[in-house]
Amino acid sequence: MQACKFRGVFPPVPTVVDAAGRLDKKGMAALIDKLIADGVNGMLFLGSGGEFCHMPKEMRFEVAAFAVRHTDGRVPVLLGISSPSTAETIEFGIHADTLGVDGVLVVNPYYALLGQDSLYHHFRSVAEAVRTPVILYNFPALTKQNLEVDLVARLADDVSNIIGIKDTVDNASHVREIINIVRPRHPDFVIFTGFDEYMMDALVLGANGGIPATANFAPAVTCGLYKAFIEKDFEGMFARQRQLARLSRIYELDRPFFGAIKQAIRLCGLDISTEVLAPVQKLSAAKTKLLVDILDKAGVLPQPAPKRTATA
């Protein structure tokens, strides 16, 4: 069953780029390999943290092809195909079909606010034009438009290729209502939370998992939380949730948070480029100092090896 692929922790993988804004294939490969070795359940490429919104079309094709090829089926892959244009979203979706990804993620068109019928038409048109299963992406803080639960239910009812949602909403009630209203009609409807700090709440309510950016540098926390939930190790789950609450301060350091996540990955032990795509700028030295403090207090910074003592 398709929905069984979409459980656990799927980090939104940053796109590693060099100072000229080109894909850094060596760094990207190293990040993918490390995430798989760290036990993530899947990966999302070209989500918000993957900087898709600042890439030309050709680069999006290049990043998608490289990431999927390098992952090579080791874990399930979600691929972001979002665009303000329905036609361009379909174009990215058809490319995703050729790559054989497990699912595509589609945010509502941004900039022009749309009526409910226009939103419905966009998602339905995309889902019916591509073979790959579609997961809706709700991020009203950025798109300025919430996907109402009734719209989600209508799309799930009418379009069999729409199989789930990533809900990045700053409360747990929206996930709760999707579970209450959509799940009785579609028991396999996939529900991921996008905000790290709501992951435990979402799992308890019945969500499939989370797509937390902190998983890119603190997988022991996020994957550990999911593992503890599955194993009913509630004390372990609570402890990791408290760590996630501390780590969530990272999102307040800079807008957008792209540079902070890349810098955190580097500070936690993987030597990748921390360059970001314009108009975003790298994390400043002052903000990097604050980042170090957050990581340290959350207990995720690598600990120095103990000094050896001389023996006689």
pLDDT tens, the chain, 312 aa long? 455 799 999 999 999 999 999 999 999 999 999 999 999 999 999 999 999 999 999 999 999 999 999 999 999 999 999 999 999 999 999 999 999 999 999 999 999 999 999 999 999 999 999 999 999 999 999 999 999 999 999 999 999 999 999 999 988 899 999 999 999 999 999 999 999 999 999 999 999 999 999 999 999 999 999 999 999 999 999 999 999 999 999 999 999 999 999 999 999 999 999 999 999 999 999 999 999 999 999 999 997 766 665 554
pLDDT of residue 3: 57
pLDDT for position 1:
43
Domains recognised in the chain with CATH numbers: 2-242 (3.20.20.70)
Q: What pLDDT was estimated at residue 303? A: 78
Catalytic residue annotation: 48, 111, 137, 166
At residue 307, the pLDDT reads 62
- What pLDDT does 306 receive? 60
- pLDDT at residue 212 in the model: 96
For residue 288, which of 255, 256, 250 has the smallest C-alpha distance? 250
Contacts of 15 (CB under 8 A, 6+ apart): 23, 28, 45, 46, 50, 51, 55, 63, 277
Distance CA 239, CA 261 (A): 22
pTM exceeds 0.85, yes or no: yes
State the pLDDT at residue 4: 75
H-helix or E-strand spanning residue 44: strand 43-45
Question: To which residue do tokens 């591509």 refer?
Answer: 130
- Tokens 């092809």 found at: 65
Six-digit token string for 229:
């939930």
Give the DSSP per-residue string, 179-192.
HHHTTTT-TT-EEE
- Given a contact cutoff of 8 angstroms between Cβ atoms, the answer to whether 122 and 152 are in contact is no
